[in-house]
Structure 1
Amino acid sequence: MGIPSDFEFRVRGDEVVIQHHGRTATTLRGARATEFLAQVEHGDPQLLMARVTGNYRRGNERAARQHPRNAR
């Protein structure tokens, strides 16, 4: 699996806006925003943002869907 990249986040008041390739992917508010900021200090920010936005599954899922074994 590739390394997530091109994510960035901005803190606006009490919310965190996460962008991917310059487009807003998600906005975290309240407890989720606070938890996110705490986790960013201790881990890989790119991986964390990919997981929060749901944009981390970019492996072979698309190819596997078309495999004859998975055909219905």
Structure 2
Amino acid sequence: MSEIDKRNRLSEEPFDYQITKKGTILIYYKGEQIKIVKDKEAEHLIARIKEDEDNVAAVQLLLAKITGNFKRGNEKIGKNKRK
């Protein structure tokens, strides 16, 4: 794991998830929803999470990989968050 997470950011557990009744997975990063996973991809992800639910670092890595490279620095800032 140390080769993948060199800056040790996943140890802070920034990702969280919620599985809905319909089988959709809502993925959160530091409390903000960033991705919705549905259908076959959600079923596959749920199975992988259940395999690794004892290993928190593995689940964090799995959630990081499924979200992809979503932070690029060009995210839009809301009206209330402007400087």
**TM-score by structure 2 length?**
0.60
Identity %: 22
Q: Who is 2:37 aligned against?
A: 28
The structure in which a higher percent of residues are helix is 1
| Separation (CA, whole Å) in 2 of partners of 1:14 and 1:24 | 16
Correspondence 1:1-72 to 2 at 5 A: 1=6, 2-4=8-10, 5-12=13-20, 13-43=22-52, 44-55=58-69
SS of aligned partner of 2:25: strand
| Separation (CA, whole Å) in 1 of partners of 2:16 and 2:63 | 8
**TM-score by structure 1 length?**
0.68
Higher relative contact order by CA 8 Å / sep ≥ 6: 1 or 2?
Answer: 1
For structure 2, the 5+ residue unaligned runs are 1-5, 53-57, 70-83
Moved over 3 A (4+): none
The structure in which a higher percent of residues are strand is 1
Q: Shift of the alpha carbon at 1:14?
A: 2.3
| Rg comparison, structure with higher value | 1
Instruction: Give the counterpart letter for 2:44 in structure 1.
Output: E
For structure 1, the 5+ residue unaligned runs are 56-72
